[in-house]
Amino acid sequence: MARGKIVVAMSGGVDSSTTAFLLKQEGYEVVGVHFQVWQPPLEWEKATTPRKDHLHRHSPHDALKVAELLGIQLFTVDIAERFRKKIVDPFVKEYLAGRTPNPCVVCNEEIKLTLLLQKAKDVGAEKVATGHYAVVEFDTAQGRYILRRGVDRKKEQSYYLGRLTREKLRFLKTPLGSMTKAEVRRIAESAGLPVAGKTESQELCFIPEQDYRRFVSQYAQHILGKDINTPGDILDTRGNVIGKHKGIPFYTIGQRKGLGISSLRPLYVVEIDLSRNVIIVGDKEEVMARGLIGERANWVSIDPPATEIEVDCQIRYRHPPVKARVESFPGDKVKVIFSAEQPAITPGQLAVFYHQDILLGSAFITGVLR
């Protein structure tokens, strides 16, 4: 039975390809969209290292093969310059400001879903779909769509959808949210999809060799016209100079390796002081914090809370959730107090709030409460 038209993001990987297959099996008229994102010039890569496969993840070749097999239309959309301005440029500038960004959460909302919905409008589709391992469902009690964790806890990706607005969430389908990765591969294999055995990558799609320090340095120099290799002092928490750093963007909160300091005990980056161009390091206990300040709060599955609420807070993608209290303030700001101190609260990262498996909302970390 025909179920209408739907636009599917097709990267050429097994997840998005299986998503397209499943939706066609359900009776949808599937329209694929493949985004070609910005990639750094070849001369930025190490001369001794061949170009890695992950830099070809956005080649339309595999997506085209799947589309032809499924008999669906595929649009290839060049978003390179938009991607550079909206994702790559802010990514580098965040490092220059002493913060540690997460570009994927921004890309899903500002690039992927925005452009998918635009294409859906162009072709007359009512819904869009992605291969994320998360569950979008309608909550009859609230009369609204909500976002849940995917059933595959090792793979689930609701965290990366924490910036989606309520308005966009109601148009999104995520068929893989109720499946495990192993089940998805079996479906792809039984359907004869040519990408069934394709390996996946958790890497950032625009950084060669995943050498982000080298990438940030080159981008800052060639695109922004800035030299970030400005050395400065490394201080202990009492203000003593104990070493030299290579440049603020080369360090992140909680970092232990690569400090270049001889010490009888492990030392971690506790604070990055951009104004003084110093890195402050301390013991493991000194990198712990009781809470955080967040800005640009986005409430996905509930209305902005009028009073303090209890949540499970996840301060980065793979960090175990911890019980916390969240208080909202005017201007989309929040204060989060943890039930137990947490390590390496990192400005620039996204804090995501859950109730059981329901993603309530999120906020970008801007401050740390010791």
Catalytic residue among 179, 205, 297, 360: 205
Catalytic residue among 7, 72, 88, 107: 107
Q: Are 354 and 314 in contact (CB under 8 A)?
A: yes
User: Strand 73-78 relative to strand 127-129: parallel, antiparallel, unpaired?
Assistant: unpaired
Backbone angles phi, psi at 159, to 5 degrees: -50, -40
Q: Does residue 205 have an active-site annotation?
A: yes
Dihedral of the CA atoms 106, 293, 287, 325 (nearest 10)?
-100
Residue 311, beta-bridge partner list: 324
Q: Does residue 313 have an active-site annotation?
A: no
Please state, in angstroms and rounded to a whole number, the distance separating the CA atoms of residues 312 and 302: 15
Q: Which two tokens stand for residue 299?
A: 């409430």
List of E strands, the chain = 5-9, 29-36, 73-78, 127-129, 134-139, 144-149, 172-173, 232-236, 241-245, 268-273, 278-282, 288-299, 309-314, 322-329, 333-343, 350-355, 358-369
Please state, in angstroms and rounded to a whole number, the distance separating the CA atoms of residues 119 and 360: 28
- The set of catalytic residues is 107, 205
